[in-house]
Structure 1
């Protein structure tokens, strides 16, 4: 038995001793890396006596030794190597891989003073699916065609397949949607087109998959923050009412209100052809029309130039024009009785829930809801009825809350006295569009109790958000938030920035107003000095 054990052990030692000394790189094989990722490669000596390994180093594709160990001045170096304690191995670190890092890397060592060992690995790079220009919050105007812009950069071969989804339903080119290479076109935008759209990019050959959610808000109003002009598109009767303009800065707040009256073009709602026998008494033609303000109805025979007068006609007493019947969408003659419903249940009759309060039943009626639980958020139906018929209008009550923290604040410009930012909106906007962004800022040694605040309306023109009146070469702590109609988000996206030192001003740009809505921008123009 002892002899058998001895022979087995000897066989194992003999098998290991016959292996030629070599270098081994892990992970094995050539490496294909996505641009911007990090990678580590470990080179290990496979030899009987590790203590006989010397000069173990990594070499770049250009043949230069990669910095290693104590030769590093600091660990912010992007490409470096580290010896692995307790083993004859060294690790190659490449952080944020870029195109110039591609090539063949070599690991070399000397074994037993005279055997030169080496192993190589080829690193190739590819650009994966990246979102170049795909804002996660986009805005469309009611009634117009809108293209959801989304530019993606993908690996050239094989190309990515692009799918579009809305609320998890796959979209295809049809009557309203047109799928293009750089976006999704929505034709004749309606309120129903608002919601979350998902762009899905996938490469079947590599299994790579990326998704981008885009929140589309359909607006019937546009605010020009420079001129303060509020423009409405496709106004409806519901848009009539009082509007308030608020001006706010660090010195205070002022506001003024104006009333918007919506004028609706006249429309003939009813005028039917009639046939009467000769000699019939009391034959009537009835014209019904609507509009705001109420239109005046005029009768004229096609063969005559002059209209008929109210009452009897001087030259033909048989023809009498009586008072006109006028119908308006928000009014009726006689007045309508209004009731409130949901799911075919009448509130106040079939449902006596005290969390519903109805004020008035016509010609105006208000439904006040105290939504204690989520089931109150639903579609409610306003029903108007008079002897001439019924009319319905659906109103959806949706739940909303404050937005979550801002995802990111990006510094675009730093001067001695100002900072310019862009923001990545919150991942959850609370069910309502963001209407403003805010910053709290203070000097680094101050506490937040002494911080100042700046609030900006949402920038729809891409001009960014500018914080001014800062001190040069000063360290500031900043934190950011956003607001919807419910309230402010928590403060977040905190950063610390040092303003630049004072210096020469940047060259100004010349803007020339060439016509309505047209501005040309260019470089500085030196004008000749006037002669004294």
Structure 2
């Protein structure tokens, strides 16, 4: 404010911006004629509009505490103030107390959330103002306690979840209790402040200990502690190989470390399942002794009266919550020599042929082998006997110059646990004796088949083959023909001359050689005649079955022609039915067809699901053979058209078979027969 002398010599007081504190009594003073004092006073009253001095728009009480909602209002003249909640006027009661500058809420509850209106008014001026204040009740955090220690695994990542409730949602922090280190800024640790998730990367053993989770919001903080245990994966510290003598007690010991101490068991690698702790059977017992202080477990597999079958690789298995470790060890069961792998056979030689005699001795440790013969004589001084290797396998090379060498040889195997002997007999082999008997079993104009009685032989030198010499009467044996058969195959000859007398002699052959000729036999082939009966090929059973409803493939073996070549075959097939246990031929259903140069033939245009009888005769220049016969049944009629077969085949040749099947596609197949 300031004063200013105007042109009429009056003095004026100016207020640029009248303030409330400038209200009051102002006096203007003057002097007249230098002696008379004049004065005049004026009172200035200020009117101040309603002003909110301390009335924050957002206020945050804490659950369960008393809280004053601030609303300090200023005006001139002085204002009146009242409060509204959700449009309803608030009156002082047990829950609300209206103070001069605040509305006090006692024992704040969540239900006190909402919009409160602080209303101020001046009656003299008629001014009215309202101040909406949003009240949000804050709740102190409550942290969910952990139910127990948390296990994390060494060398792996781990996560621990801290859970808390509060309003507003709290922020989380983690510290390690021992060091008070804030883990939000520590290596290998990550803290999510919004979710409370603590992540530990690549856990190590030093991470074990107590951790504290703290949840904080505007209403306060809460914390909880948790014990973290680091599980150390098992590590097998020692699993040594072991050696035991057969029938003695064996022990395999495996030492493993881990936290918690691991369970230790064993498995023989030839078994699927490990041994269970305790007695496995009458001989095998497994014990496992964990030490919670050192973290070491000693597992022991004890085998009483060890057997050779107990020898082999064993696996030590150590397990705890962090995983498992495995390591192999070997149990060696030592035993005296054994000849179990050697066959119990004699060796043969003849005509001073060198021969090898081998001896194999199983043992642990390996056996040393020496040889004797002729009841205990040393072989060292005989130049005809050479020993190769002295264990665990040894071979004698023998040159049997005379019968003295055909004797018993003794293999003597020794190791630290005993000595065993095995006898091997060297026998002199001889050729087979004479064939004892030859009897004609079947003869035609051009073929003959014999039944033979072979000579008796040692099972180790069986007859392998039979040789026959045969010639026409009047010829010498120098002019004879030879034929050799393997024992067990038909002893037959073909391409003989009709009406011709032959002489036959037989000899047996084994590994040594061909025996003497014997079983002399004379036989005269008969005159030429019609062929033998053809043998139709069918499946076993009373009748054969066709795969098709309207066709049947007839196949047969070529019969002997008996002196004249077969020039054709005649086939006859008729429908039949089974009546009172007898097959009867249906009248007017028979068909006859001639076949040349084939050993298979398709019977076509047959009825479906019908029984047929077929007769086949071979023909040569001298007439028809007796008929070979068979029965067959056609298949049920199918949808579509049966394959149409075009066959071009000669006996013993190659058949190209074209098949056209019409249903949904056309297929061409070429089959080699």
| Bin of the TM-score, shorter chain as denominator length | 0.3 to 0.5
Which structure is larger by alpha-carbon Rg, 1 or 2?
Answer: 2
Which one has the bigger strand percentage? Answer: 2
TM-score with structure 2 setting the length = 0.30
Q: Which has the higher contact order (CA 8 A, sep 6+)?
A: 1
